[in-house]
Amino acid sequence: MAPDSPASTPSPASTPSPASTRSPASTPQLTVQPINFAAEQPPTWQHLIDTARAADAAGIDRIIVSDHVVFGESPEAYGDPSLGGTAGGKQPTGPDGHWLEPLTTLAFLGGQTHHVRLGTSILLAALRRPAVLAKTAATLDVLSGGRLDLGVGVGWQAEEYEAAGLDFANRGRLLDHTLEVCQLLWTEQRATYNSDELAFDGIHAMPQPLQPAGVPIWVSGTVNPRAMKRLATFGTGWIPWGPAVADPLAGIAGMREAVEGFGRDPFEIQATCYIPAVRSDNGDLLLDETMAAVPALRDAGMTDFKITLKLPSGEPAITETFAEAVEAFRSVTR
């Protein structure tokens, strides 16, 4: 991820309550990602709905969806780490790909489900006005029964910031500012804020999230000072990026050292990773062999495990596929 721009320092009145009041999940969590995008207009989004409903029925712990608001015409920038992309990465669609807005999508899926947590990975939070984002997230959390997790990052595409009238070079500070305002409005009945970007006094924003410390924020980033300071300040959890995705054990060790340097107990912070897939010679996923990697990752400090599965069509068949994955996962994490 590209280094963030220098951050301004908000006044003491604008500093939100620390995120350190939240503890890591007591048991490992299994996450899947229903696809909320398509290279071309699909005839229906029913598969997305079926996937979410099946995850809920099968006992998957969390579903996550991704975010792009607009596209420019340089999707190859995703492969440039200097811009915030990832080396060798490739966008799954071109500029005219169809991307459903994630919070709207989660609100809809929240009404279709009862237990599974609802997350973004990642939301380009700085593209939304902070007070409006705070209200949207709080509303979703309340209506879903306190099931929302907000995974955030700075992104890699300058055109999205330009289309929103924002300075891409200042995206790190813009994200910090957004999170400051959100956490303040989520936790204070009468809010006062003062920074270079915004000042207000005596502001009320109800309802607040059902979750007592506000919506949990998962911060995405490489192990660099700006991202790690953001994680230490705001984060309930960490979404690794760049080299830490390929080497999660080194990544979490580096993350813990970095956030401790910012005065945060790193053992309070949850962390997510992909479960490395083990496949047969013909490419089929070997579920038990794949899940065998989980205990070592858990012991290293990972708390949330993402798995990518080839899914059949139809909610009953998807539910069966997920149920098998849940059982295999629970068998190595009990």
pLDDT above 50 (res 15): no
Give pLDDT tens digits for 76-96. Answer: 888 888 888 888 888 899 999
- Asked if residue 282 is part of any domain, the answer here is yes
Length of the chain: 334
Q: Which amino acid is at 151?
A: G
Closest CA to 162 of 174, 150, 152, 149: 174
Domain count for the chain, please give it: 1
| 148 within domain boundaries | yes
Task: For residue range 89-143, list pLDDT tens digits in order.
Answer: 888 999 999 999 999 999 999 999 999 999 999 999 999 999 999 999 999 999 9
Mean pLDDT, residues 235-251: 95
**295 or 26, higher pLDDT:** 295
Position 2 in a domain? no
Residue 304, H or E segment? strand 304-306
**Could you tell me the pTM of the whole model?**
0.90
For 172, the domain range is 12-333
pLDDT number for residue 26: 67
DSSP state of 123: E
Percent of the chain exceeding pLDDT 90 equals 86
Question: Using the 8-state DSSP alphabet, how is residue 165 labeled?
Answer: T
- pLDDT confidence of 51, banded at 50, 70, 90? very high
277: region left, alpha or beta (phi > 0 left; psi from -120 to 50 alpha) = beta
> CATH no. for residue 65?
3.20.20.30
Each residue of 257-306: pLDDT tens digit? 999 999 999 999 999 999 999 999 999 999 999 999 999 999 999 999 99
Q: What is the mean pLDDT of the chain?
A: 92
Q: Look at residue 184 and tell me if it is in a domain.
A: yes
